[in-house]
Chain A
Amino acid sequence: MSLLITMVVAVAGGWAFMKLHSWRVLRRAAAREAREADELRAQAPATIVPSRHGLVPRAELVLVGTRHSPEAAAALDAARSGDWRPAAAYLTASGADGADGADADRRWARAVPFTDLAVEDDAWLQAWRREQPQNAEAAVLHARALVGVAWEIRTRKRAHQVTREQAAGFHRVLGEAEAAAREAVLIAPADDPNPWVVLLPVARGHSWDNDRVRELWSEITARDPQHWAAHGQALQYWCEKWHGSHAAMHEFIDTAIAAAPVGSLLAPRKLEALWEQYAGSEEAATAYRTAQVSAALDTALADLAAADPGHPGVEHARGWLAFMLGENGRPAEAVAQFQALKHTVPWPWADYHDPLSAFTGDRAAAVLAAPDASNTPDASDASDTSDGQADQLATAG
């Protein structure tokens, strides 16, 4: 028995000593780490001065969708204060300005900031609809805003992180959105694809089966075969995390690109598809360097070169090109896209946690990697990086 007692005491005592000892060790380690961090900070980070490379300084960058034409800005301000008429004039006037195939796309794009506003507060839109119940733009906008509200309730989280309450609200409001879209179909001209396009996110949220979505898709493409926004929505439906697969997604976008005339800007959507497939995966770095991606980039570049500069998808295309050219090891071409983007921070960075830092980081990396750059950081001149004049190389996207 005494042996047992001795063992208990010895074990307990030894354990307590180890504990004290390891505290001391830990404290020492923490001090060393802090010292090393200070040393690292003292070294100049790799920075560039954007203006030397034809790039807009960080302080002047804005997220895509936040800067509007004076006309749109005035209409948004009026709507915010309850006057729907300037918005109605702006949105319906656009019906006349295109007259080509991109008309529906342009109307869709012009309505984006108004949709965002109506998601927040739709008093002005309700007033408009009471006054003009047969206005197709207002009817489509109402349906789109309901889709937006539904997603606000759900948030963009993965399904398992969405609470029961959020899911219930999402499905309820999405159901209202579907009803509103079907009402808009009846109000809008028979050849207007836009009310049908609203049903694509409804199909995604309500998990329509693939055949049902193919039927919907034929309604849309019968009215506008290259509807650029619709292709973005449908791509999401067909991707693996929603209701398709990598194969189904690529088949969808490859078929669309093959059928579209050059300049439709559907080719850059292939870059989105590649990103959907590889983002976050360990193989991303090597996957983006393959010949498949290089070829997709060449097709997208040719598509962009042929596109109307006023096409609503131009900034989006440049963003994906800039991103994927960088990943593909073509930094000089990436820099050209960064230059053309001017003040806009587009997708994919717009979706990042800290879009501006990620964007300027990738931009700096492209500049530093481009063969015609001096390959030395502009550190000497970047005495003050806090004034937003210099881009610091990001350590993580």
Chain B
Amino acid sequence: MVTPARPADSATSGTALSTSGRALTAVALLAGFYLLAAAIVLGLTGLDLALLFSGTGVNPAIAKLIGLSLLVIYPVLRVVFLTRRPRGEEPSGLLLTREQQPELWARIDRIAEQTGVRGPADLRLVPDVNAGVWEDTRLLGLIPGKRHLVVGAPLLLGLTEAELDSVLAHEFGHYSNRDVRLAGVTMAGRRAILHTVRTLQEQADPDRKQHTGGIRKAQARSADLAQGVQGNLAGVFAAYGRMFFRVSEAVSRRQEYAADRTAAQLAGRDATAAALRRLPVLSAAQDFYLDCYATIGWDAGVLPLPGQLYGGLAHVLADPVRGPELARLGRELPQEQSDPYDSHPPIAQRVAAVEALPEDGRSAEQDGPALALLREAERTLAALEQATLVPEAAAKRHADWPELLRESCLAGLRRRTGPVREALTDAGLPATLEGLLDALDTGRGWEIAGRLPKSEEAAAATGRAAREFLRPALHSALSRLTVLAMAEAELAHWEFSWSRSATLHLPEGVEEGMEGAVDAAVTDAPDTAPLRALAGLTAPAR
């Protein structure tokens, strides 16, 4: 069994005794959960058999009753016992050997030693804002096994060495507090019950989530009935689950606080608080960076240069505009209400607990970023890309940031001009700016506009109102085709920046005149000459 330890969590123990007392209760409750499910299945099956062999033969009433009991038995069997529950995620990422990364390993070994726990057998670099220790245990976590450490590349990019120490010490701290053994059972129980309740709820309420077929197809006619039964079943298990979570929550939260204290002892109070504040910031920065930079060229078939896909986050963190914005985010931790199913206390509470510890004379300042621990960082991050990206990524080409931006913006423009180019083609015209301008000049503008996708209201309108619905669509189609034509001719370009979103630059004079020129071209008496002049096109001979 794999026991995941989540990024940097914490809970402190009250006394070890009460913690393991609660953990033992959790084990008992987990066993009870399976017993409850088994009892329902076996009890109903027995009842059915009794009915069948009661000698009255199979009459419709009995058939109905049996059918009904099957409606109960089937989901319980399927959901509780038969489906493969999502386990802790299979370790993915890039394996880093001691030979490849002696400095990083030395650091890890030192932390393990200082926390007094057995160090990991292997180390993997992953792309997420995450760090954790996994252990291959058996018998619900009671028999120990090999330990695995994963470290997220964003932590190396965004934490100092002391902050990284703190995160590692937290993770090892779970093992030094000796609470992980039974906590493993607790976690397994949480997952099993959560899975059961959520699956039954989804089946009872298909609106909540598109259902995944199977059961419901067979029961299409009695769908209402089945939903009612499963809703009630979910209710039974949910009630049980609530009891279980109340017991186990205190356990896991104490563990998190205890691990935080271990981290503070080892890496310093201030570095631990700083790391805790930094983690949500890194998470937000990473999401933002991946969405707005790293993957913008994905659909266009372009990726950043090797090593930059994950490594580019450093540019965002170091940017003079965005860096301070992100730092501000870290000072104002959200007082979020924690997910009742989450084993971690809200991060603001953990920071407060750490900052309440006595001054230890160690300042969080200024050792360098943890990336210095990584040998051949660029090459290693490039290898991480290969280890983690889906196979289709291999077919994409790599480009530097400005070119990546250009390619993705061009692809975006091509996609958004798709409808108008299709409309032009369907009308037998060339799918270009010139094609649309010619259409406008020959009075076919509204015909083209009419072929563009439109809203219900636009489709229902008649007369001039209908035309007014089409006019903005025609306007933006013409604007986009103009920019596309200029960008393809390298007259227009997008300015790349780490500080702000991309800016489109049109040639001198075009920027100011374009709106008016497009306006003139989509009036009821179109005049395309100004736009042709701006775009460097000549009017056709008429």
CA gap between A173 and B467 in the complex, in Å: 11
Q: What residue in chain A is nearest B462 (Cβ atoms)?
A: A120
Q: A130 to chain B: closest CB distance in Å? A: 9
Write out, one digit per residue, whether chain A residues 244-283 have a CB within 8 A of any chain B CB (1) or not (0): 0000000000000000000000000000000000000000
Residues in A160-216 with C-beta less than 8 Å from chain B? 163, 165-166, 168-169, 172-173
Write out, one digit per residue, whether chain A residues 128-165 have a CB within 8 A of any chain B CB (1) or not (0): 00000000000000000100010011010000000101
Q: Which residues of B contact A163 (CB under 8 A)?
A: 455, 457
The answer to whether the Cβ of A15 comes within 8 Å of any Cβ in the partner chain is yes
Q: Are A12 and B468 in contact (CB under 8 A)?
A: no
The answer to whether the Cβ of B340 comes within 8 Å of any Cβ in the partner chain is no
CA gap between A384 and B449 in the complex, in Å: 51
Known contacts being A1-B43, A5-B44, A16-B64, is A11 close to B461, with CB within 8 Å?
A: no
Secondary structure at the B interface, as helix, strand, loop or mixed, is helix
Q: Are A152 and B463 in contact (CB under 8 A)?
A: yes
Known contacts being A19-B225, A166-B457, is A122 close to B472, with CB within 8 Å?
A: no
Write out, one digit per residue, whether chain B residues 459-470 have a CB within 8 A of any chain A CB (1) or not (0): 001111100110
The answer to whether the Cβ of A2 comes within 8 Å of any Cβ in the partner chain is yes
Residues in B31-48 with C-beta less than 8 Å from chain A? 35-36, 39-40, 43-44, 47
The answer to whether the Cβ of A291 comes within 8 Å of any Cβ in the partner chain is no
Q: Are A11 and B232 in contact (CB under 8 A)?
A: yes
Which of A19, A119, A145, A153 is the most central at the interface, judged by chain B CB atoms within 10 Å of its CB?
A153
Q: Number of B interface residues at 8 Å Cβ cutoff, please give it.
A: 30
CA gap between A211 and B105 in the complex, in Å: 76
The answer to whether the Cβ of B382 comes within 8 Å of any Cβ in the partner chain is no
Q: Which residues of B contact A155 (CB under 8 A)?
A: 457
Which of B40, B44, B464 is the most central at the interface, judged by chain A CB atoms within 10 Å of its CB?
B464
Q: Are B228 and A153 in contact (CB under 8 A)?
A: no
Q: B445 to chain A: closest CB distance in Å? A: 15
Q: Which residues of A contact B520 (CB under 8 A)?
A: none
Q: Are A12 and B463 in contact (CB under 8 A)?
A: no
Q: Are A149 and B464 in contact (CB under 8 A)?
A: yes
Q: Are B472 and A168 in contact (CB under 8 A)?
A: yes
Q: Are B465 and A16 in contact (CB under 8 A)?
A: no
The answer to whether the Cβ of A83 comes within 8 Å of any Cβ in the partner chain is no
CA gap between A149 and B468 in the complex, in Å: 8
Q: What residue in chain A is nearest B38 (Cβ atoms)?
A: A1
Q: Are A165 and B465 in contact (CB under 8 A)?
A: no
Residues in A312-357 with C-beta less than 8 Å from chain B? none
Write out, one digit per residue, whether chain B residues 59-90 have a CB within 8 A of any chain A CB (1) or not (0): 00000110011011000000000000000000
Known contacts being A1-B43, A152-B461, is A169 close to B468, with CB within 8 Å?
A: yes
Residues in B456-492 with C-beta less than 8 Å from chain A? 457-458, 461-465, 468-469, 472
Q: Are B39 and A5 in contact (CB under 8 A)?
A: yes
Secondary structure at the A interface, as helix, strand, loop or mixed, is helix
CA gap between A35 and B465 in the complex, in Å: 48
Write out, one digit per residue, whether chain A residues 1-18 have a CB within 8 A of any chain B CB (1) or not (0): 110110011011101100
Q: Which residues of B contact A165 (CB under 8 A)?
A: 455, 457-458, 469, 472
The answer to whether the Cβ of B204 comes within 8 Å of any Cβ in the partner chain is no
Known contacts being A120-B462, A163-B457, A169-B469, is A2 close to B43, with CB within 8 Å?
A: yes
Q: B143 to chain A: closest CB distance in Å? A: 31
Q: Which residues of A contact B468 (CB under 8 A)?
A: 149, 153, 169, 172-173
Q: Which residues of B contact A15 (CB under 8 A)?
A: 228
The answer to whether the Cβ of A126 comes within 8 Å of any Cβ in the partner chain is yes
Known contacts being A9-B44, A9-B47, A153-B461, is A16 close to B68, with CB within 8 Å?
A: yes
The answer to whether the Cβ of A378 comes within 8 Å of any Cβ in the partner chain is no
Residues in B189-233 with C-beta less than 8 Å from chain A? 225, 228-229, 232
Q: Which residues of A contact B463 (CB under 8 A)?
A: 119-121, 149, 152
Known contacts being A12-B68, A16-B64, is A152 close to B464, with CB within 8 Å?
A: yes
Q: What residue in chain A is nearest B48 (Cβ atoms)?
A: A9
The residue from B71, B236, B524 contacting A126, defined by CB atoms under 8 A apart: B524
Q: Which residues of A contact B458 (CB under 8 A)?
A: 165
Q: B64 to chain A: closest CB distance in Å? A: 7
Q: Are B469 and A153 in contact (CB under 8 A)?
A: yes
Q: Which residues of A contact B236 (CB under 8 A)?
A: 8
Q: Which residues of A contact B39 (CB under 8 A)?
A: 1-2, 4-5
Can you give 11 contacting A-B residue pairs, CB < 8 Å?
A1-B39, A2-B43, A9-B47, A9-B72, A13-B68, A19-B225, A119-B464, A145-B464, A153-B469, A155-B457, A169-B469
Q: Which 3 A-B pairs have the closest CB atoms?
A: A5-B43, A152-B465, A120-B463
Other contacts beyond A8-B236, A12-B229, A16-B64: 18, CB < 8 A: A5-B40, A5-B44, A5-B47, A8-B40, A9-B44, A12-B68, A12-B232, A13-B65, A149-B463, A149-B468, A152-B463, A153-B465, A153-B468, A163-B457, A165-B472, A166-B457, A168-B472, A169-B468
Which A residues form the contact surface with B (CB < 8 A)? Answer: 1-2, 4-5, 8-9, 11-13, 15-16, 19, 119-122, 126, 145, 149, 152-153, 155, 163, 165-166, 168-169, 172-173
